[in-house]
Amino acid sequence: MTREKILITGASSGLGEGMARQFAARGRSLALAARRLDRLETLAGELSGQAKQVAVASLDVTDTEAVPMVFDSLAGELGGLDRVIVNAGLGKGAKIGTGKAHANIETVQTNLIGALAQAEAALKIFREQNHGHLVLISSMSAVRGLPKAQCAYSASKAGVSALGQGLQAEFAGSPITISVILPGYIETDINRGVKTSMMSDTDSGVRAMVAAIEAEKRRAAVPAWPWAPLSVALKLLPDAISAKLV
């Protein structure tokens, strides 16, 4: 099935912007949401010659009352939604217990509470129309908790993955499908400063994400190399070894 009408949150930069560009190149209709409306409007102008339609809206996903209103409004502009990509995320963080709890709490509120609010809004639309594809952008850090400043971030993404697994069980065999995408290190603002030989460039990483989304995979570590085998290894390896990988 081709999902023609796609909503992407966190679309003003990074992975969200990259996915918007790739889906636009495929001639899809796009609904783009993010906090920075000016950047969305600039992006919409760039995509207007490729995408069938582009609608934009300002949205802070931590404003849980605004999320369903924005989703409904964008769905109205596109005449429905076939796919919602829950991508908006935050990478702030600090070592827990060092007096910077606000950074960790903000990250969890955006990445997990915000994702839940988006899933609620998307699935209300999908239930009413009896079809749809919900895509939750998690992270490889959900597989095995990261230490120090990444601890709260990985915990928030583990929650996103668990949310997806529960929804997959609920909607099994129905016209509503759920995908959980776990990107590894892909070059974006969130990963700026991370020193690793496993960093993928933005274009390659986004292409892998879009391919997994189009295939409507239940769970996909992307790019597949090296993250698919690592996603298995991180679950099984002893702590002393896995700690060196994360």
Instruction: For tokens 């409007």, name the residue.
Output: 41
Domains of the chain (ranges; CATH) run 5-245 (3.40.50.720)
Is 185 considered catalytic here?
no
- In the set 23, 71, 126, 153, the catalytic residue is 153
pLDDT band for 240, please (50, 70, 90 cuts): low
Tell me, what's the pLDDT at 159? Answer: 98
pLDDT band for 219, please (50, 70, 90 cuts): very high
User: Does the pLDDT at position 130 exceed 70?
Assistant: yes
The angle that helices 114-129 and 66-78 make with each other, rounded to 10 degrees, is 40
CA–CA distance, 63 with 81 (Å, rounded to integer): 21
Q: Give the pLDDT confidence of 62-88 residue by residue, as tens digits.
A: 999 999 999 999 999 999 999 999 999
User: Does the pLDDT at position 131 exceed 70?
Assistant: yes
Q: Give the pLDDT confidence of 165-180 residue by residue, as tens digits.
A: 999 999 999 999 999 9
Q: What is the pTM of this model?
A: 0.93
Rounded mean pLDDT of the chain?
92
